[in-house]
Amino acid sequence: MARITPRQLSQNLRQGIAPIYVVTGDEPLLVQECCDSIRDAARKHGFFERDLLHGEHNFDWGQLLSAAGSLSLFADKKIIELRLPGGKPGDKGSKALQEFASMGADDTLLLLVLPRLDRAQLNSKWVKALEERGVLIQIWPVDATEMPRWIHERLRAAGLEAEPEAIQILAERVEGNLLAASQEIEKLKLLAQDSIITADIMNNAVASSARYDVFGLIDKALAADAAGAVRTLQGLRAEGVEAAVVLWAIAREIRTLLETQQKLDQGQPINRLVRIQKRQPLIQAACQRLRPRQLENFLLRARAVDNAIKGGKEMDPWAGLLELTLNLSGKRSI
C-alpha cells in the first residue's frame, strides 16, 4: 500500500486501519511512538486483544500463524505484535510472513517491529508481500544537522518556544539521543516562563538534569574507573533515568571505539578522530585496553539488554547494564 515516514503516520491512520504495519528503524523513541499510535488507532477500531511475540533465534514461526487463527471469547479483533530484533526472519520466517500476508483476515492486525532494513531486505519477497497489504514506516536517524529542527518541532508540540541558542544547547547536550531530548523537554515544561525557553533557562536545566550524568558514566568507564562507573550507574537508576537511555550511551560508545580502532590501525591520528580534546586520552587508552573481538561481544550483550528492556525475560536490564559497565571499564563481571 505505502511507504511512509513517522510524520505521515497520523494522517495515514486517520484514513483507516491497514491489516499490516511494518515499523523499521533504529531510533527507539520514534519506533515506540509509531507503535503506540498504531495500537491506539487499532483500539478505536475494536482491536482490543494483543499477542506479543519475540522472533529471537530458533523462534517457532508456527506461533505467528497460530496466533492469527485463535481469538479469545472476549474480543473479536486482535493485534499480533511481532518484534524481530535481528531483522532477518530466515527462510522459515519469510514463508510464514508471506503466508500471513496472503490470509486476508479482517480480525487480525500484524504489527511487525524490526531494525532498519537495508536495500536487499526491502526488496525481499516477504517485505514485498507485507507491503502489498499494509504500510511500511521507515524511521531514519536524526543526524547532527537535523537535531535542532527536530528539537524545535518537539518543543512546539509541547506548547513551548525557545531561543535558537537554547535549542543548540540542548542539541549539543543530548548528542543525538532522541529519548534523552524528549525527557529534557518534559522537564522544561515545568521551568518555562510564558512558554519561552531562554538560553539561561536551558543552561540551568541541562546542567542540573541529573546529578549522576550518563556521559559521566561513559568517561569513568573509559578511564577504567570501574568503581566510579558502577556508582554512577547506581545513581542514574536511583534518579529514575530510563535504562534505554543508559544503554544507548554505552552501545554508542562501543561502536565509536570499534570505528576508532579501525582508523587508528590505518594510521590516522587520534586528534582527527576525536574532536573533544579532553576525551582523546580516554578513547586512546580504551582502544589499547579493549580489542575488537571484545567490543563486538559487548554489542551482542547490549542487544540482549535491549531485548530485556523491551520485555524479554532473559535478564534484569539493570543487571545487564552493570555487566556492560564493568566490561567497558576493563573488568570481567562475575
pTM given for the model: 0.63
pLDDT in tens, 202-245: 887 775 444 557 888 888 999 999 998 998 899 888 878 889 88
Map out the domains of the chain with their CATH numbers.
Answer: 2-139 (3.40.50.300), 147-207 (1.10.8.60), 214-327 (1.20.272.10)
pLDDT in tens, 118-160: 888 899 999 999 999 999 999 988 887 899 999 999 999 889 9
- 294-302: long-range contacts (C-beta < 8 A, 24 or more apart)? 294/327, 295/254, 295/257, 295/258, 295/261, 296/258, 298/254, 298/324, 298/327, 298/328, 299/251, 299/254, 299/255, 299/258, 301/327, 302/247, 302/250, 302/251, 302/254
Mean pLDDT of all residues in 298-322? 88
Q: Examine the pLDDT at 63 and tell me if it is beyond 50.
A: yes
Mean pLDDT of all residues in 292-312? 88
The pLDDT, as a whole number, for residue 56 is: 78
pLDDT averaged over the chain? Answer: 86
**If you average pLDDT over each of 94-98, 183-187, 306-310, which comes out highest?**
94-98
The pLDDT, as a whole number, for residue 334 is: 52
Q: Examine the pLDDT at 52 and tell me if it is beyond 70.
A: yes
Q: Examine the pLDDT at 72 and tell me if it is beyond 90.
A: no
Q: When comparing pLDDT for 274 and 169, which is higher?
A: 169
The pLDDT, as a whole number, for residue 266 is: 79
Residue 268 makes CB contacts below 8 A (sequence gap 6+) with none
**Least confident window among 17-31, 220-234, 268-282, 309-323:** 268-282
The pLDDT, as a whole number, for residue 275 is: 58
The residues with which 20 forms a beta bridge, in sequence order, are 110
The pLDDT, as a whole number, for residue 82 is: 94
Nearest one of 65, 128, 121 to 92, comparing CA atoms: 65
The pLDDT, as a whole number, for residue 210 is: 46
